[in-house]
Amino acid sequence: MATATRAGPYLDRPTSSSLADVIDLILDKGLVIDAYVRVSLIGLELLTIDARVVVASVDTYLRFAEAVNRLDLTADGSRGLPELVQDGGAEHRSKGALEGAEENVTDAAGSRRGDAEDEEQPEERPRRRARPAARRREQE
């Protein structure tokens, strides 16, 4: 009975988490060891801490604008067109602003990169024991 409902037709239940999901889960969650132990801590450098910080910037806005502009809307943009509610097609189209952000994060976690995409990720820089949650709050 419990297993009968596990995989519904609408809900997506991946058998393993994607790297982006993993980053989301473990980088700024869980018990903070510093809160318990200070003296014996080994301060190993962490590579990816800032990878997920994608700040709002002119660049982000421009990517949104581009995404809106490439949208295939009928000229008058009137309400209730069947295409507007139709499912399918949209999912696998070219990368938009929103998906692009996730891709950058995944990328950044995979390897230590050069500055090829610095424009898109002004904040990405390996730091020692940074606190991404706090940093993110400051930036918003």
- Toward other proteins, which CB reaches closer, 83 or 115? 83
Q: CA torsion angle for 131, 124, 54, 18 (degrees, to 10)?
A: -80
Shortest distance, position 115 Cβ to other proteins, whole Å:
18
Shortest distance, position 74 Cβ to other proteins, whole Å:
10
Shortest distance, position 118 Cβ to other proteins, whole Å:
16
Q: Say if CB 8 and CB 33 are below 8 A apart.
A: no
Token pair listed for 19: 């790297």
Tell me the sheet residues that pair with 58: none
- Toward other proteins, which CB reaches closer, 19 or 118? 19
- Toward other proteins, which CB reaches closer, 9 or 114? 9
- Toward other proteins, which CB reaches closer, 115 or 128? 128
State the burial class of residue 16 (Cβ atoms within 10 Å of its Cβ: 0-12, 13-18, 19+): exposed
Of 51, 43, 32, 31, whose CA–CA distance to 128 is shortest?
A: 43
Token pair listed for 131: 């606190």
Shortest distance, position 119 Cβ to other proteins, whole Å:
14
